[in-house]
Amino acid sequence: MTRYALTLCAGILTLAVTACVPPTPIAPPAPQPPAPPRVAAVICTPGDVNSFIQAIHVLEPSYNPNTNPANYEPPYRHSSPFDRNLNPDLTTDLENAFRSAPFTFQQNLCNLHGVYISPAACSNKSTYTRDGYRCNALSTTSVMENAWGFRSFHVNAEDLGNRYIAISARLWADKAGNWTSRALRFHEYQDMLLGKLADWRTAQHGPHITTVADPDDPWMTVLAALTHEYGHVHWARTVLPGDVGDRDGPGGNVYKFSELTACSTGTGAFNFFTYWSYNNNTNRLRPRFRWRKFKDRDTAGRVKIDHKDPPKIAQFESSGIALDTKSNLFVQLYQREQPWASYFGSLTADEDFIETYVLKVLSSTQPKLKKLPVTVFFTNGSTQTVDIPNDLSTTGKPALVTKMGCIKP
């Protein structure tokens, strides 16, 4: 209504001026890049790896989508096309990740509105493109630095409902931060991630991933990163499933958890969140302000959700509990009867959904993930090894398998 009113008034003003003096030519406005269509998107073709590479863009290092509505701009206004010839090894990792992904996940990637690489973690971020996509970083920088997945939800945004993911260029630097031609090996990536999350471990004790995974290739690292960030998009589409304009869609704030609290398992309804202590208050299942910052555990109302049964996350966070006790709790968290896909997935309900989805995808790759051993070192010199993917494919993890079945491919 406002735009129409302004146009009408301008028309009346033009007629009045024309009656008195000749009109003054007005320069046409500078052309703006067209906004992509809302919601509908096909950026590549499943099975066609070349089309996937062509769809990738490199972000400006300062771009941050988690901002207030007045400052938000879509990522496509702050990016440039990825040049597949600038760093052939990096391109190979991206190609192999897409090629090895299950067809349904290829479809999910192609139905996004954008796939990005962020150089924000690189010390040479301002020259990242000129340096041939060679990222140098601090050893302390996270492999998820400025990585994200989101569905645009600011109601006045030009891209309301659009879906994007970004992975960090830090994947192509070793633990010391030095650029490597290929992405981190999968066990290195997982160990660096675990170290940021289980910050109670020490360099010598607690859980570490020092043994190679199966497979342990760089493409598995890249695919896991893509899948985790897409998991955030998948979460939004699952719990806010409506279309643009709906109260339970992009821009709405009426969550619907029924697809997960009463999912069909073939033997009856199952509650994906049954292992969380949320007392049927679904506010405790969602991130505060829709965004889940890395390591943040706040939910709506700033309440930190915890497990219904031991081991409790509060125990890991307590400064009054000894390191070896926490290590024992970690071993317990990974046992056959436990429902968690990873330590990361045990921290919040939405990360539980996302990490369960990641394991579901990585269990369907070609070849699929079979092993990811985690060695827990105790101060008396003893060790214990736990391995969720191995248990999943050998002895089985019934609760986790049921949860995986709740999530759509």
pLDDT tens profile 50-81: 999 999 999 999 999 999 999 999 999 999 99
Q: Encode pLDDT of 299-321 as tens digits.
A: 987 789 999 999 999 999 999 99
- Determine phi and psi for 122, rounding to 5 degrees: -85, 135
One-letter amino acid for residue 257 of the chain: F
- Determine phi and psi for 128, rounding to 5 degrees: -55, -45
Cis peptide preceding 33, ω within 30 of 0:
no
Which pLDDT value is given to residue 16?
31
Check residue 379 and report its DSSP letter.
T
87 with 132: CB under 8 angstroms? yes
Which pLDDT value is given to residue 302?
76
Which pLDDT value is given to residue 280?
87
Give the bridge partners for 125, in sequence order: none
Residue 242 has pLDDT above 60, yes or no: yes
Which pLDDT value is given to residue 39?
54
**Pair of tokens at residue 278:** 């949320």
Over range 80-96, report the average pLDDT: 98
Check residue 216 and report its DSSP letter.
-
What confidence category does residue 17 fall into, taking pLDDT thresholds of 50, 70 and 90? very low
DSSP H stretches of helix in 298-379: 313-317, 323-333, 349-362
C-alpha angle with apex 167: 229 to 155, nearest 5 degrees?
55
Residue 369 has pLDDT above 90, yes or no: yes
How far, in Å, CA of 21 to CA of 8, rounded? 20
Which pLDDT value is given to residue 159?
97
Q: Is 381 exposed, middle or buried (0-12, 13-18, 19+ CB in 10 A)?
A: exposed
One-letter amino acid for residue 206 of the chain: G
The alpha carbon dihedral of 133, 134, 136, 140 has a sign of positive
Residue 96 has pLDDT above 90, yes or no: yes
The alpha carbon dihedral of 8, 9, 13, 19 has a sign of positive
**Pair of tokens at residue 333:** 């968290």
Over range 82-99, report the average pLDDT: 98
Over range 351-373, report the average pLDDT: 97
Which pLDDT value is given to residue 267?
74
Q: How many CB atoms lie within 10 A of CB 6?
A: 10
- Determine phi and psi for 11, rounding to 5 degrees: -65, -40
H or E stretch covering 90 = helix 88-100
Q: Encode pLDDT of 328-353 as tens digits.
A: 999 999 999 999 999 999 999 999 99
- Backbone angle region of 266, left / alpha / beta, with phi > 0 → left and psi within -120 to 50 → alpha: left
Helix, strand, coil percent values for the chain (each to nearest 5)? 35, 10, 50
Over range 349-370, report the average pLDDT: 97
Distances (CA, A) of 91 to 56, 76, 144, 178, 234: 10, 20, 19, 18, 25
